[in-house]
Amino acid sequence: MSQSSQSRRDFIATTSIGLLGAAAIPAEQAPTQNPSEPTAGAPPAFGGGPAFGPEVSTNTFAEAEKLVQFDLRPEERTMAAESWRRTLASVYELRVGPRKVTIESPVAPYSQWNPILPGHKAGPAHETFLRSKTDPGPLPDKEDDLAFATLTKLSRWIESRKLTSERLTQIYLKRIERFDPKLRCIITLTKDLALAQAKQADAEIAAGKYRGPLHGIPWGGKDLLDTAGIRTTYGAEPFRDRVPAADAAVVKRLHDAGAVLLAKLSLGALALNDIWFGGQTMNPWLLEEGASGSSAGPGAATAAGLVGFAIGSETGGSIVSPAMRCGITGLRPTFGRVPRTGAMTLCWSLDKLGPMTRSVEDAILVLRAISGPDAGDLSSVPSKLDFDANASIKICASAIFRNG
């Protein structure tokens, strides 16, 4: 008999002797217990549920002993087999009890988790936002060059009406039709909505109502962001037909900024890895490997020029990892900067939503539009953005060292 098996045997023997000793205590010395009072911490009627689980035989326990490397005597196997379903009933009762309480997805924890230590301040003290003044140059002749252009350039061309949102949307739609069968980065294509939003953006810009750098830019959202009337599946088979009634806070802010929702993008099922119910999302630059996850769709779609930018989410690397794998810019915001209202929760104290783009300035343009508190996320906080795209490298380096 192995040392581990012997130690188990010793433990059971010692425990059994202890129980026998307890049974030998005279009744007048034994602590009294009121049978009508449940054990401390036990749910109501604990142990009163019906027997549960499959019928088992002594042979079942004999096979199980091989796995745990522990031998029962024949009489012990018989006792275990006969009492198994009654013993399991209380365990099952504990396990399924909380599941009877339905918690809607928008419900946040009652408490706020704030990573800022008392007496410390977070973020810059000043609010500065200055875009690049660089001329984006003439509009490229090739559609592929437009598809891979940065958001920084696309926004300038659309603002100056050298490029229409509808044309850019059509370019992306054609590329999605061509490349998505290999990449598998689109869960739901929102073609009709995108074309309607693009036409609206062009009309508003022509009328002088320019909303900002995201106006008319087609984008894709990781499919854990709720979209009213549009499937939000979490990449998981049980939720493939789930249709929320309201937009996530980030989606609403991008709608308000005039961005064009082109597609709901893939994620590893329930925000793990890069495999969803439609298959594995692949890296556009090496189709033999996955795009990494869980923001696989945003990474692949942005890198392949299927959207102008994308929104991903990160708990422990889900923006950074696919951004590195697919060769794009991924920004993981400071916790609390971007509200997560209407986004699938993986971990309330770690989840973050952020942009996935083709350049650093692109990421800042998106971050500015989606930042700020929302009542649905108690951990979201006001935050300032100190950004000057025209500052020299020397000035930026000085600010970094000065502010730590």
* Residues classed as catalytic: 222, 294, 318
DSSP state of 236: -
Residue 136 structure tokens: 């984006």
- In this structure, the number of other CB atoms found within 10 A of the CB of residue 230 comes to 17
Q: Rg for the chain (alpha carbons), in Å?
A: 29
Residue 247 structure tokens: 């937009």
- In this structure, the number of other CB atoms found within 10 A of the CB of residue 71 comes to 14
How many whole angstroms from its chain centre is CA 253?
A: 19
CB 344 within 8 A of CB 105: yes
Q: How far apart are CA 169 and CA 216, in angstroms?
A: 9
3-state SS assignment for residue 358: coil
Q: How far apart are CA 51 and CA 292, in angstroms?
A: 45
Roughly what angle, to the nearest 10 degrees, separates helices 165-183 and 191-206?
160
Q: What percent helix, strand, coil does the chain show, rounded to 5?
A: 40, 15, 50
Q: How far apart are CA 114 and CA 118, in angstroms?
A: 10
DSSP state of 212: -
Query: Which helix H or strand E contains 191, and what residues bound it?
Result: helix 191-206
DSSP state of 126: S
